[in-house]
Copies of this chain bind each other. A is one copy, B any other.
Amino acid sequence: MRAPNETFSYPYPHPAVTTDVVVFTIRDGRLSILLVERANPPFAGNWALPGGFLDIGEDLDACAARELEEETGISGLYLEQLYTFGATHRDPRERVISVTYYALVPLDALATPRAASDAAAVGWHAFDALPPLAFDHAEIVQMAHRRLVAKLDYSTIAFGFMPKTFTLSELQGVYEILLHQALDKRNFRKRMLSLDLVEETGKLRRNGKHRPAREYRVKHPERVEIIK
């Protein structure tokens, strides 16, 4: 074993550690992620995931949340650690270990992100039409997407995309976008209601020249992420 055994610190070179966050949302009926355009080399002019270096006294989760908040102005999101990428030459400057996270932004919380000082631009990009990404970020995005879709089956992660109140049709739309297929309305409603995770607010949602939809909310927001 080569566990820590010096009295103070490990006398060999330390890698840099960053967090990068894949921020998903649904915009205009398409799954989208948040990207920043890099202002500086390497990969200047390329799009990349929001993220940055870990402060030496900062928890990993806090770092990811801070980076996310700095980019989008949104906090309190569902944020989950995804995977840690550490290939030796993933960053040409120095050895960088990236602890990656993913987050879901509810449909109604789409604050227009503001570009930070070291980014040329920041914006949402449809998942199925992403520009070339810097570093190994394309790989990170692919893994986040696989995780997201896999969790649809056995968790209630899709609620992370829902605003405080929503209709069952909106919820079904989210599933259909994520699964890339149409779902049967009756089966979908039966399944959702049997989970006993949503309740009617009692209000109706008028959305056009047709029958109004019942409005729902999540019953126990703190339990939403618990695996079925």
The dominant DSSP class at the A interface is loop
Q: Point out the residues of chain B lying under 8 angstroms from A56, CB to CB.
A: 12-15, 95
Whether the pair A53, B10 counts as a contact (CB closer than 8 A) is: yes
Taking A1-B119, A17-B17 as contacts, is the C-beta distance between A10 and B84 under 8 angstroms?
no
Residue positions of A touching B, CB distance < 8 A? 1-10, 12-18, 36, 38-42, 48, 50-60, 67, 70-71, 81, 83-88, 91, 93-97, 99, 116, 118-119, 122, 150, 154, 227
Q: Point out the residues of chain B lying under 8 angstroms from A16, CB to CB.
A: 4, 9-10, 14
Q: Point out the residues of chain B lying under 8 angstroms from A86, CB to CB.
A: 17, 54, 59-60, 99
Interchain CA distance A40-B5 in the complex, whole Å: 6
B4, B116, B154: which contacts A53 (Cβ < 8 A)?
B4
Q: Point out the residues of chain B lying under 8 angstroms from A12, CB to CB.
A: 53, 55-56
- For residue A53, give the distance in angstroms from its CB to the closest CB of chain B: 5
Copies of this chain: 2
Q: Point out the residues of chain B lying under 8 angstroms from A40, CB to CB.
A: 5
Whether the pair A1, B51 counts as a contact (CB closer than 8 A) is: yes
B1, B52, B99: which contacts A67 (Cβ < 8 A)?
B1
Taking A8-B94, A9-B16 as contacts, is the C-beta distance between A3 and B58 under 8 angstroms?
no
Q: Point out the residues of chain B lying under 8 angstroms from A36, CB to CB.
A: 1, 3
Q: Point out the residues of chain B lying under 8 angstroms from A58, CB to CB.
A: 88
28 contacts between A and B (CB under 8 A): A1-B36, A1-B51, A1-B52, A1-B67, A1-B70, A1-B122, A2-B52, A3-B18, A3-B36, A3-B38, A3-B50, A3-B51, A4-B16, A4-B42, A4-B96, A5-B38, A5-B40, A7-B41, A7-B93, A10-B16, A12-B55, A14-B14, A15-B17, A15-B56, A57-B95, A59-B86, A60-B87, A150-B227
- For residue A61, give the distance in angstroms from its CB to the closest CB of chain B: 8
Q: Point out the residues of chain B lying under 8 angstroms from A119, CB to CB.
A: 1, 3
Whether the pair A6, B50 counts as a contact (CB closer than 8 A) is: no
Interchain CA distance A10-B98 in the complex, whole Å: 14
- For residue A131, give the distance in angstroms from its CB to the closest CB of chain B: 16
- For residue A107, give the distance in angstroms from its CB to the closest CB of chain B: 24
Interchain CA distance A18-B6 in the complex, whole Å: 14
